[in-house]
Amino acid sequence: MNVLVVDDQVSVFEAVKFGMPKDVCWFAENGVAPLEVGEVDLILLDYNMPVKGPLLVEGLRARFPKATIVGHTTAVDDAKVRAAFGEVGVDRVVRKFDYEGMTREL
């Protein structure tokens, strides 16, 4: 599985690299995906960044049409956050850093 982590904190990228099974893992700081990113299976999209995560979904879907987009946030119980992700068609929303639980879901 090839994973793209879209977050404003590199520590989240490091946690994903060590916490989830994957083949390749890239980091898109604040939503800017590096050009060398290849085929992506899973996008982990943070909500709370300088540009709110849901605003990036359309561009991510255009660039990576086959990828599953998962909102990952510490505010998973916040109805506003869930609604914002839901309105833009994010595939699911999970608690940030619960990579064992997320891996079971995927």
CA neighbor of 95 nearest in space, from 12, 4, 8: 12
Report the pLDDT value the prediction gives residue 91, as an integer from 0 to 100. Answer: 92
Report the pLDDT value the prediction gives residue 35, as an integer from 0 to 100. Answer: 67
> The pTM is what?
0.86
Report the pLDDT value the prediction gives residue 73, as an integer from 0 to 100. Answer: 85
Report the pLDDT value the prediction gives residue 66, as an integer from 0 to 100. Answer: 93
Report the pLDDT value the prediction gives residue 103, as an integer from 0 to 100. Answer: 67
Report the pLDDT value the prediction gives residue 105, as an integer from 0 to 100. Answer: 58
Buried b (16+ CB within 10 A) or exposed e, 75-101: ebeeeebbebbeebebeebbebeebee
Check if the beta carbon of residue 73 is closer than 8 Å to that of residue 93: yes
pLDDT beneath 70, residues of the chain: 30, 35, 101-106
